[in-house]
Amino acid sequence: MKTPIFTGSCTAIVTPFTADFVNFERFGELIEQQIAAGTQALVVCGTTGEASTQTIPEHLATVEYAIKKADGRIKIIAGTGSNDTAHAVMMSQNAEKSGADGLLMVTPYYNNTTQKGLVKHFEYVADRVGIPIILYNIPGRTGMAISLDAYKELAKHPMINGTKEASGNLELLSQIINECGDDMNVWSGDDSLCLPMMALGAKGIISVLSNICPAETAELANACLSGDMAKARELHYKYYKLMKALFVETNPIPIKTAMNMMGVDVGPTRMPLCEMDSKNEAMLRETLKDYGLLK
């Protein structure tokens, strides 16, 4: 049995950018807001944090800043996944040295390895760090899915704490929990699937929505954990429209657009991600107004 790195809500936090670097002043404000709202953990430099377009110095500096700013008040999970195993080791070891509580490692992309290679990749990194790893299964973005057999093998490794499941496959989720039990903790990687996944045994949510609704996301996750499914359903349906609006285009385009609309200057997304289509932007604006998030 492995104790989960966190239970409840974790924000996959955006990285606010200036024209040419990270806006650390704004980043610090965002971290403080998350702590005050009851968020249990932050994923720094994940997909939502645009790690794929950060330079190595930026990435390292962003993780280090978040750890120092948090100062033990909230768990910091550093995104360190790569399609280059040696690079993943280097980034993971640097995050560990900086004091990260855990690592989030996406499946290798583009290389299109076999399941055997996938297991070897994760185990190779896990053998070289001393902090827990959360796997990240998001085949819609990487083209590489983790199979049940691979999950069963990876669950044996003491440093692999669990997985962020963003495959949308509830059948696979049931199989992981049934076959691996608490040797492979599971977190929902989709806001709109938080309720059904937690009802099936997921330990919480790694959320995009919680960038703008952190207290509400924490309340939803905590209701699931406490078994108050009526409250969880109420919150799920209350925020469902907003959850879906934040994925009308590739994440993190909508969430950063929403935050900028709300007066929280997080800067633009970096190319090749670009500004929203005008029709989608108008829909997002109206949705934010419906939720009282825009005047």
Summarize pLDDT for 9-36 with one digit per residue, the tens.
999 999 999 988 999 999 999 999 999 9
Q: What share of the chain is helix, strand, coil (3-state, %, to 5)?
A: 50, 15, 35
Q: Is residue 60 part of a domain?
A: yes
Q: Is residue 71 part of a domain?
A: yes
Q: Is residue 236 part of a domain?
A: no
Q: Which two tokens mark 77?
A: 């999970």
For residue 137, give Cα distances in angstroms to 19, 93, 190. Answer: 32, 21, 11
Q: Is residue 293 part of a domain?
A: no
Place of tokens 């970096």: 270
Summarize pLDDT for 145-188 with one digit per residue, the tens.
999 999 999 999 999 999 999 999 999 999 999 999 999 999 99
Place of tokens 């768990």: 75
pLDDT score for 1: 86
Number of domains in the chain: 1
Low-confidence ranges of the chain (pLDDT < 70): none
Q: Is residue 259 part of a domain?
A: no
No. of helices (H) and no. of strands (E), the chain: 12, 8
- As a whole number of angstroms, the distance between CA 77 and CA 115 comes to 25
Q: Is residue 2 part of a domain?
A: no
Q: What CATH number should be reported for the domain holding residue 134?
A: 3.20.20.70
By residue range, what is the domain housing residue 84? 8-226
Q: Is residue 108 part of a domain?
A: yes
Query: Is the separation of the CB atoms in 87 and 55 below 8 Å?
Result: no
pLDDT score for 254: 98
Summarize pLDDT for 199-210 with one digit per residue, the tens.
999 999 999 999
Catalytically active residues, by annotation: 136, 164
Q: Is residue 279 part of a domain?
A: no
pTM of this structure: 0.96
